[in-house]
């Protein structure tokens, strides 16, 4: 692993803004992923941005950082989770 890889893994695991459930980005249900991110963002007292933005930023960060290593099926699930997150926050 390079220093960049270590950095991105650490950010995902030890986010200072959100307490993520273990393995949230590996789950197969986009609705469950979105609900988990929303719960984490809504109850976080450490985030600097509004809850929706914090949750979406963490999801996009993970998708971007995983890049080519992200399985196509899981990428589809995570992209769908973005839509579900928008619905949960009334931004569809």
Residue 59's nearest CA partner among 71, 35, 73, 43 is 35
Q: Hey, how many other C-beta atoms are within 10 angstroms of the C-beta on 28?
A: 9
* Residues 69-78: tens digit of each pLDDT: 899 999 999 9
- Return the pLDDT at 12: 55
Q: What is the rounded CA–CA span in Å between residue 91 and residue 83?
A: 9
- Return the pLDDT at 5: 56
- Return the pLDDT at 19: 87
Alpha-helical (H) ranges within 19-71 are 30-43, 51-66
Q: What is the rounded CA–CA span in Å between residue 72 and residue 47?
A: 30
| Predicted TM-score of the model (pTM) | 0.82
- Return the pLDDT at 7: 58
- Return the pLDDT at 84: 98
Answer yes or no: are the C-beta atoms of 81 and 63 closer than 8 Å.
no
Q: What is the rounded CA–CA span in Å between residue 87 and residue 89?
A: 5
| Most distant CA pair in the chain, distance | 39
Question: From first to last of its 92 residues, what are the pLDDT tens digits of the chain?
Answer: 555 556 556 655 555 568 899 999 999 999 999 999 999 999 988 888 999 999 999 999 999 988 888 999 999 999 999 999 999 999 97
């Amino acid at each position: 692993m390079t220093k960049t890889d270590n950095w991105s893994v650490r950010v995902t695991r030890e986010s200072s803004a959100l307490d993520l459930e273990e393995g949230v980005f590996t789950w197969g249900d986009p609705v469950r992923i979105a609900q988990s991110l929303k719960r984490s963002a809504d109850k976080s007292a450490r985030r600097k941005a509004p809850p929706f933005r914090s949750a979406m930023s963490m999801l996009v960060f993970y998708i971007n950082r995983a890049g080519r290593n992200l399985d196509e099926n899981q990428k589809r699930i995570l992209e769908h989770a973005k839509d579900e997150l928008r619905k949960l926050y009334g931004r569809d």
